[in-house]
Structure 1
Amino acid sequence: MPITVALAFLFWQGLPVDWAVGIWTLVNVVLFHAAANCWSDYFDYKKGVDRDDTIGGVSITSGEFKASEIKALAMGLLAVSVLSGIALLLCTGLPTLYLGLAGSLLIVLYPWLKYHALGDVDIFLTFSLLPILGTSYVATGCFHTSVLWLTLPIGLITVGILHVNNSRDIEHDGRAGIHTFAMLIGAKASAVVYCIEVLLPFVWVAVAAAVGIFPWWSLLVLVALKPAADNASAAMCFPAEGIEALRGVDEKTAQLQLIFSLLFTVSFFVDKLL
């Protein structure tokens, strides 16, 4: 979704957008995302993070796939995305190489960074800052720093998906001997951080609209405020009620990201075309 939001924002600003390259970039980022998910699942299983009694990461523990199959899938998806990225590089310019290398490195290092409390930073960079900034370059031919205003609302909700998952798995992750950010700050602080991650984006967009950075139509994202508030309420019950309070909240946060991003994207097109 960061790609579609960035493309819509660039269009709203009146910049010449190469839509074919933009869509190409979107497909490539989806491939990178899928590779990252498989890579993470493989290492979580090998590290003992995902076991039969854990809630998430059941693709291997359930016996549906072998660990070797998930690893091969991750490598295959990464290889395809790298080849596609090289072709994209030939159609754009050298900065695409640096962005692609940074993204690939962050994906490969993600398991290690996650196990050392830096997974949240990795996710923000990989699925917000880099794709949004990169889209501005590949779709228009140069970097536009104005797109950086998009990175926080998109990035925070995306990080929220990981954070609530890690919050739920604090006990299991501790058993595996890893150290996530949620583990370091504890259940109560983790609940507060999650609330900030899913609610601050609405404040950010509203303030940005008020000062003219975003169009007033961007307030369409407020339609997603109710599910965000519901998720935040569930998170605040976590310290007292345990992991059952967070069951399904990671999936609901992913749905929130989709709805928020779609509304955000539509708002730029509507304001430009009306």
Structure 2
Amino acid sequence: ILAYKSTGECSITVFLATLFTALSVHAAGNLVNTYFDYMKGIDGKTSDDRTLVDKHLQPHDVAWLGTVSYFCGMVGYVILVMISPAKMEHIALMFFGGLSSSFMYTGGLGLKYIALGDLVIFLSFGPLTVMFAFLTQAGKLSTVTLLYAIPLALNTVSILHANNTRDMESDKKAKIVTVSILLGKTGSYILFAFLLFAPYIVFVLMGLHISPWLFLPLLTVKDVFNIERFFRSGSLRKVPYMLAQLNLLIGLLYV
């Protein structure tokens, strides 16, 4: 939509290729996370991701699926280089930046384990993905897209932060460091409140200065206060699921 407003053109083929590429890399990143969390002994009986814990798949199966997903992402990248109006070097910069961050989140440097996971998720699910989609469609970069990326990126990070706050004790035992551990319970609550409510400030500003349609996500504000109460009371088990549902609703209303 942003690219169409900017150029007056929209290619369905480029859109589908971009969607395929982004989803492939995202899936690969999730599989890498599943693999390394299990191999490092972080995932256990109380974990949300029970793919390997419950033996639905074996570690080598997850590794193979991750490889296939990255290969699919590479295929999508090659297609975009051929059909997108953007320069190859610009597409490569955005694509390999996203691919690298999806792997290094838990693989390689393991940024998730040294309190950098929140930053990686914010950049990957926010500016990087949105700017990549805009670039492949419009053929150029625009800083305006960053503003549109911020609300959903913050909401996505809130899911990770809620997970990490809930798992503080088990993460300490696994000898990994998260932002939640560094901040403690009070600091984690303050950060969570910011991640939860800041997007709505952005929506109000965008609704006032860009388009009244951007007020629509405010319809979910009642759910936000409900989630905040759950987090504040320490009932964290359901919070990530509630946030995921909120993320979906905001995304639908945001579009």
Change (3 A) 1:227 1:12: farther
Q: Find the residue that maps to 1:179 and give its secondary structure.
A: coil
**Contact 1:192–1:236 (8 Å) recurs in 2:** no
Partner AA of 1:107 in structure 2: S
Match of 2:20 in 1: 27
> Where do residues 117-156 of structure 1 align in structure 2 (5 Å cutoff)?
117-156=115-154
Distance 1:26 1:113 in 2: 26
1:104 and 2:114 aligned: no
Q: Find the residue that maps to 1:61 and give its secondary structure.
A: coil
**Contact 1:195–1:235 (8 Å) recurs in 2:** no
Distance 2:220 2:5 in 1: 22
Match of 1:255 in 2: 245
Distance 2:81 2:182 in 1: 40
Distance 2:7 2:203 in 1: 20
User: What TM-score does the superposition give when structure 1 sets the normalisation length?
Assistant: 0.86
Deviation at 1:62, TM superposition (A): 1.2
**Contact 2:18–2:76 (8 Å) recurs in 1:** no
Match of 1:5 in 2: none
Deviation at 1:64, TM superposition (A): 1.5
**Contact 2:25–2:69 (8 Å) recurs in 1:** yes
Count of matched residue pairs: 249
Deviation at 1:126, TM superposition (A): 1.2
User: Normalized per residue, which structure has more helix?
Assistant: 1
Q: How far does the alpha carbon of each residue in 1:5-54 deviate from its partner, in whole angstroms, 9 at most, with x for none?
A: xxx333355642323212321222112111111110110011111122x2
Match of 1:91 in 2: 83
1:11 and 2:9 aligned: no
Distance 1:159 1:134 in 2: 19
Q: 1:67 aligns with which of 34, 59, 64?
A: 59
Partner AA of 2:204 in structure 1: A
Match of 1:56 in 2: 48
Q: 1:234 aligns with which of 230, 234, 242?
A: 230
**Root mean square deviation of aligned Cα:** 1.5
Q: Percent identity?
A: 27
Partner AA of 2:173 in structure 1: R
Partner AA of 1:124 in structure 2: F
> Where do residues 204-223 of structure 1 align in structure 2 (5 Å cutoff)?
204-210=202-208, 212=209, 214-223=210-219
| Structure 2 gap ranges (5+) | none
Match of 2:220 in 1: 224
Deviation at 1:60, TM superposition (A): 0.8
Match of 1:170 in 2: 168
**Contact 2:189–2:231 (8 Å) recurs in 1:** yes
**Contact 1:161–1:254 (8 Å) recurs in 2:** yes
Partner AA of 1:64 in structure 2: H
**Contact 2:161–2:180 (8 Å) recurs in 1:** yes
**Contact 1:86–1:97 (8 Å) recurs in 2:** no
Match of 1:181 in 2: 179
Q: Find the residue that maps to 1:246 and give its secondary structure.
A: coil
Distance 1:9 1:209 in 2: 15
Match of 1:115 in 2: 113
Deviation at 1:115, TM superposition (A): 0.1
1:78 and 2:75 aligned: no
